[in-house]
Amino acid sequence: DTEVTQTPKHLVMGMTNKKSLKCEQHMGHRAMYWYKQKAKKPPELMFVYSYEKLSINESVPSRFSPECPNSSLLNLHLHALQPEDSALYLCASRLTGTGNSPLHFGNGTRLTVT
Amino acid sequence: KQEVTQIPAALSVPEGENLVLNCSFTDSAIYNLQWFRQDPGKGLTSLLLIQSSQREQTSGRLNASLDKSSGRSTLYIAASQPGDSATYLCAVRREDAGGTSYGKLTFGQGTILTVHP
């Protein structure tokens, strides 16, 4: 069982909808990540939060808006998405952004944009 | 720019075989290397993390080696089982004295492993 919990597991949304993905961990990790994964491809980094501060934005379109309300929670707000944004969205965390701790992933949210 | 390559792209073996998955990277200035497995439609499960100063790590039937100077790592799976069927990904984290990469990983494309009974 993963210690990084993502909800919902599946999400279908129209291009005019607004929805949010949620990620939660209670391992005391202070670095949290959003990745996007298309079928048969490796994960691609979107955002990194370190100590609740946005530290890396990999030139992600503004229709994706991350939020880290506290050290255990990470949200990804979605608005006006395109069908090509359909993918598996993975949240991950590690103890800190530095150091040798491994990265832990959640099971992802399967997003379909219609 | 770091590039990570995994060979083979797919592998099918009978149950019980020992097997080796390969991972190579172009920039040897790495901080660590991590092996993951991913089951269809699921997230990634961390298998082993090797620090740049280490040569190998072992967990159960899994053994990962690292040759930093030649830019290679292997994942050895002993006595394979059908439950080992998954996609295996390696990922490297570059050296980052300033801490500005925040643990960003570069992934390989993965090896799809099928172990048939």
Catalogue the long-range contacts made by A17-21 (C-beta closer than 8 Å, 24 or more residues apart). Answer: A17/A78, A17/A79, A17/A81, A18/A77, A18/A78, A18/A79, A19/A77, A19/A78, A20/A75, A20/A76, A20/A77, A20/A78, A21/A75, A21/A76, A21/A78, A21/A89, A21/A91, A21/A109, A21/A111
Count of beta carbons in the 10 Å neighbourhood of residue A70: 8
Q: Which among B43, B102, B103 has CB closest to A105? A: B43
Which pLDDT score is estimated for B98? 67
Residue-wise pLDDT for B4-26, tens only, equals: 999 999 999 999 999 999 999 99
How many CB pairs below 8 A link A and B? Answer: 64
Provide φ and ψ at A84, rounded to 5°: -70, -10
Which pLDDT score is estimated for A96? 86
Q: Residues of B with CB below 8 A from A31's CB?
A: 102-103
Residue-wise pLDDT for A43-88, tens only, equals: 999 999 999 999 999 999 999 999 999 999 999 999 999 999 999 9
Q: Residues of B with CB below 8 A from A106's CB?
A: 43
Reading phi first (left if > 0) and then psi (alpha if -120 to 50, else beta), residue B60 is in left
Residue whose entry in the numeric block shows the structure tokens 């006595």 = B79
Q: In A, residues 60-79, which contact B (CB 8 Å cutoff)? A: none
Average pLDDT of B78-93? 97
Q: Residues of A with CB below 8 A from B91's CB?
A: 42, 103
Measured between CA atoms, how close is B24 to chain A, in angstroms? 15
